[in-house]
């Protein structure tokens, strides 16, 4: 029998912790959807806890109209941006999530497993005095093509009661939360393994837009009801234990959620807005509060994970993790929001959209110090999903440096701890119609986590 490379087993769980599970990536990507535990021999189980703290601050737009000299809060090109008031940290509440999984070998060829994670998410909290926060007596100027110089009084104190957004006060806020359970069945032969299975996903979201940055859309509320839907995952892997080589390519499908969305847009209670709608050729009136069935589709993804022994003498292992998510195909289009936006844009607008696909790459080096202790360092890069970016997540990718240690308490039980520093790319925030609403620079964050794992062969 060929002898296994001695560093492989002791570092595998550690590497997934430091490289994948602590990401703050493009779009709504949070967990990296790691399933590396499925490729351990024998019975394996793990539980992760991760803590992410970020500092994302910037300035709103104080662009002055070249004719009137008045501040109009938004502009349609980057050249029309003027630094305005400061935007406090929009992620001042640290984000935490858990991940766990269990895997077992039925026989020498067949393996089964179940893995839980929280793949997509967002938590944005605006505060302070800027264009993303409303005043109770706010009046919003109507941008072209609305009636020139017209204003709409928005009674902010009355709008939170309609769709369950009490407690959000007068600031723009976003919450997106998902949970995913991935079931896997794998068949191994001659070093190769094919695997796949169903994916059960639960998703919900809440959005609140406030302030002059959103023009007549200020006061908009949306609640995407909790929904559970099915998708699937499949992949192929190859291993060669004598050189600690493990490679896996995993595809995850889109998952389509058809669920009621409750929306409230107080500007539609304005006679002026309704007259503009009629002048644009729309018959009837749009109601300011509606609940309609809509579709929200979470994106597909592809993960490639590679590890290989580099030096048996020094007990070194190298890793490469690559992830692709096609955010360019992703949109959230609430029906009322979209219908109202058609007054200004013939095709209407989504609430959230991205311009580019995401690429995420992590390169790691691990070393086994003795039979119980191993350590790793990881350098990472995330491309982001385009710049300018959504005002609901204003970073343009990142560079990262992370590392961690793993200690085998017993031959079966181990505890790992890791951390990562992230330097975010500077980003210009825009609305889906292209209007520039803010600028975010010199931002960073860090992540930390622990993992408890058990493996028995």
45 within some domain: yes
- State which residues of the chain have pLDDT below 70: 1-26, 64-79, 92-93, 135-169, 272, 276, 279-285, 344
173 within some domain: yes
Which residue is listed with tokens 């007068």? Answer: 170
Cα 142 from Cα 148, distance rounded (Å): 7
371 within some domain: yes
Q: Which letter, b or e, does each residue of 63-77 get, where b requires 16 or more Cβ atoms within 10 Å of its Cβ?
A: beeeeeeebbbbbee
Give me the pLDDT at residue 79, please.
Answer: 58
Give me the pLDDT at residue 430, please.
Answer: 85
2 within some domain: no
Cα 396 from Cα 381, distance rounded (Å): 11
Give me the pLDDT at residue 290, please.
Answer: 86
Cβ contacts of residue 77 below 8 Å, gap of 6+? 434, 436
27 within some domain: yes
- The residue range of the domain holding 143 is 8-456
3 within some domain: no
In terms of Cα–Cα distance, which of 250, 255, 224 is closest to 237?
250
121 within some domain: yes
Q: Is 238 within 8 Å of 193 (Cβ atoms)?
A: yes
HSE of 446, CA atoms in CB hemisphere, 13 A: 7
Give me the pLDDT at residue 69, please.
Answer: 47
Per-residue pLDDT of 301-351, as tens digits, reads 999 999 998 988 888 999 999 999 998 878 888 888 888 877 767 777 888
The 3-state DSSP composition of the chain as helix, strand, coil percent (nearest 5) reads 10, 50, 35
Per-residue pLDDT of 387-405, as tens digits, reads 888 887 788 889 999 888 8
Total domains present in the chain: 1
The CATH number of residue 184's host domain is 2.40.160.60
Q: Show the tokens assigned to 276.
A: 């503009």
Cα 331 from Cα 87, distance rounded (Å): 26
In terms of Cα–Cα distance, which of 176, 237, 276, 298 is closest to 37?
237
Which residue is listed with tokens 């110090």? Answer: 369
Cα 399 from Cα 407, distance rounded (Å): 27
Cα 417 from Cα 404, distance rounded (Å): 5
Cα 345 from Cα 350, distance rounded (Å): 11
Cα 77 from Cα 75, distance rounded (Å): 6
450 within some domain: yes
Q: Is 295 within 8 Å of 258 (Cβ atoms)?
A: yes
Per-residue pLDDT of 182-233, as tens digits, reads 999 999 999 999 999 999 999 999 998 888 888 778 888 899 889 999 999 9
């Amino acid at each position: 029998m060929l002898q296994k490379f001695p560093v492989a087993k002791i570092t595998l769980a550690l590497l997934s912790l430091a490289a994948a599970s602590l990401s703050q990536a493009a779009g709504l990507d949070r967990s990296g959807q790691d399933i590396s535990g499925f490729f351990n021999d024998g019975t394996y189980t793990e539980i992760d806890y991760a803590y992410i703290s970020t500092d994302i601050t910037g300035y709103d737009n104080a662009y002055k109209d070249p004719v009137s000299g008045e501040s109009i809060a938004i502009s349609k090109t980057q050249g029309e941006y003027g630094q305005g008031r400061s935007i406090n940290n929009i992620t001042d509440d640290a984000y935490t999530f858990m991940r766990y999984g269990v895997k077992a070998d039925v026989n020498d060829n067949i393996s089964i497993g179940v893995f839980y994670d929280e793949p997509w998410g967002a938590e944005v909290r605006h505060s302070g005095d800027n264009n993303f926060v409303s005043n109770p007596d706010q009046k919003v100027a109507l941008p072209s093509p609305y009636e020139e110089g017209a204003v709409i009084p928005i009674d902010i104190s009355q709008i939170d009661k309609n769709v369950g957004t009490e407690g959000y006060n007068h600031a723009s806020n976003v919450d997106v939360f998902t949970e995913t359970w991935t079931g896997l069945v794998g068949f191994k032969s001659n070093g190769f393994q094919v695997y796949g299975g169903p994916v059960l996903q639960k998703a919900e979201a809440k959005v609140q837009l406030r302030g002059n940055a959103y023009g007549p859309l200020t006061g908009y509320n949306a609640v995407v009801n909790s929904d559970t839907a099915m998708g699937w995952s499949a992949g192929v892997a190859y291993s060669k234990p004598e050189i600690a080589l493990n490679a896996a390519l995993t595809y995850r499908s889109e998952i389509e959620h058809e669920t009621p969305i409750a929306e409230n847009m107080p500007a539609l209670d304005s006679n002026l807005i309704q007259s503009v709608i009629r002048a644009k050729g729309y018959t009837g009136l749009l109601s300011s509060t509606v609940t309609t069935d809509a579709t929200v589709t979470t994106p597909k993804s592809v993960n490639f994970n590679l590890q290989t022994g580099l030096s048996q003498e020094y007990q070194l292992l190298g890793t490469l993790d690559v992830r692709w998510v096609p955010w360019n195909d992703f949109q959230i289009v609430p029906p009322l929001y979209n219908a109202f936006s058609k007054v200004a844009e013939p095709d209407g607008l989504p609430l959230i959209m991205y311009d580019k696909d995401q690429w995420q790459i992590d390169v790691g080096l691990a070393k086994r110090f003795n039979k119980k202790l191993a350590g790793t360092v990881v350098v990472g890069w995330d491309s982001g999903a385009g710049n300018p970016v959504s005002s609901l997540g204003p970073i343009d990718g990142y560079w990262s440096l992370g590392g961690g240690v793993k200690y085998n308490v017993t031959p079966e039980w181990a505890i790992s701890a890791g951390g990562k520093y992230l330097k975010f790319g500077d980003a210009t925030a825009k609305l889906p119609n292209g209007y520039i609403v803010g600028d975010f620079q010199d931002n960073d964050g860090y992540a930390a986590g622990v993992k408890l794992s058990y493996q028995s062969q």
